[in-house]
């Protein structure tokens, strides 16, 4: 399966030493390769290096549950209309048995799936509220802090922000999985 993009991926044969170093650093990490928005970020290796390091912490070094992370990523992908990010993470969530097809369908429509735990439902409602009007009331904030603590809240906000970066890059580039490319 190939990936198409309106923005050209950096030419492997013409990459600078910095681009190659960052590409190799990303590929050696837990991602096991350089895909999607990170591949486009290689146009700016200093930014790519820092953005990928943040993403690595938020995906593999977080205190948030895997399901919470994937639900938050999927809701952010929906918000930014990032089809590539949605496709990649919905497949990952299904493959790792984190979310059912019905739950993925609910998330694709901005609904909170019934199968989520109370903790995950509170967090999903919080993420949806962020997108609705960027205003979080005191009670909702206290509810999230009660479930994941203040450090977890900061991790969640950074996770959503990180996936806004990747989501907007993917959406503007119109990154797509394609069998035709």
As a CATH number, domain 66-173 is 1.20.1290.10
- pTM metric for this prediction: 0.91
Minimum mean pLDDT among 38-52, 129-143, 147-161: which range?
Answer: 129-143
Which pLDDT score is estimated for 180? 35
Q: Report whether 104 contacts 92 (CB < 8 A).
A: no
Residue 132 exposure: Cα atoms within 13 Å on the Cβ side: 11
What phi, psi does 84 have (nearest 5°)? -60, -50
Residue spans of the domains in the chain: they are: 2-60, 66-173
Within 8 A by CB and 6+ apart from 167, the residues are 37, 76, 77, 79, 80, 81, 82, 85
Average pLDDT of the chain is 93
Q: What is the pLDDT of residues 16-72, one digit of tens each?
A: 999 999 999 999 999 999 988 999 999 999 999 999 999 999 999 999 999 999 999
């Amino acid at each position: 399966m190939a990936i198409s993009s309106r923005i050209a991926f950096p030419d492997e044969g013409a990459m600078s030493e910095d681009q190659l170093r960052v590409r190799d650093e990303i590929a050696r990490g837990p991602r096991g390769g350089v895909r999607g928005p990170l591949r486009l970020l290689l146009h700016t290796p200093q930014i790519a290096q820092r953005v990928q390091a943040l993403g690595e912490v938020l995906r593999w070094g977080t205190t948030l549950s895997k399901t919470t992370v994937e639900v938050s990523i999927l809701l952010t992908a929906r918000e930014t209309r990032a089809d590539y990010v949605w496709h990649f993470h919905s497949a990952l969530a299904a493959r790792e048995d984190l979310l059912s097809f019905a739950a993925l369908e609910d998330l694709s429509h901005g609904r909170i799936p019934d199968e989520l735990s109370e903790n995950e439902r509170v967090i999903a409602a919080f993420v949806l509220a962020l997108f609705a009007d960027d205003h979080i009331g005191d009670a909702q904030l206290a509810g999230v802090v009660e479930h994941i603590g203040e450090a977890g809240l900061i991790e969640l906000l950074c996770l959503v922000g990180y996936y806004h970066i990747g989501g907007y890059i993917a959406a503007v580039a119109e990154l797509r999985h394609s069998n035709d490319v």
